[in-house]
Amino acid sequence: MSHPAASLSARCAAIGSWRLHPGHAMSLRPKKTAVLRIFCGQVWVTLGGPYQGAPNDLGDRFLGPGDVLAVPAGARMVMEPIAAPGDSGPVHFDWSDASVSAAPSRFAREVVSPTRELGAALGQAGWALSRVLRGLLGYSEFLVAGRGRVLSPLESLRS
């Protein structure tokens, strides 16, 4: 039977996320509102201004697996892993733009997205039609050959 800590370590190692090892700290300052998600391990997070919202939303936070923290644009966030004695595994987390994490509305899924796809398809169809017409116009001299056009010596031999 495997040890629970060993299976947790193997599961965390398989996660495709950012890693922060014990004894290291990371400072981030998003240009847009961002979201921090902790997958594995625990971190101590300190948020610095600009301050928006309730006063209890400021300062130090302790986050563990499954916790999510929205970091406002321009705020300075410092994050440091909290490691238990003998634990040398990294903290696994994800840092993404808040607009990416928001689910699209029904209108965006069912109207806006198909409209963009239709516009792209019509644009490609128009481009293809213009290429076909340009190609046909390039062959117009062969369509009128012999109708008032003087043939070159090589063309006259073919007859």
Single pTM value for the model: 0.51
- Token pair belonging to 38: 């902790």
Q: Is the pLDDT of residue 80 over 70?
A: yes
Closest CA to 90 of 134, 51, 38: 38
Give the confidence band of 110 by pLDDT, cuts at 50, 70, 90.
Answer: confident
Q: Is the pLDDT of residue 127 over 90?
A: yes
DSSP state of 98: H
Contact 43, 80 (CB under 8 A): yes
Contact 19, 91 (CB under 8 A): yes
Q: Which residues contact 52 (CB under 8 A, 6 or more apart)?
A: 72
Q: Is the pLDDT of residue 136 over 70?
A: yes
Distance CA 21, CA 42 (A): 11
- Condensed to tens digits (0 to 9), the pLDDT of residues 11-46 reads 455 455 788 888 889 998 888 888 888 888 889 998
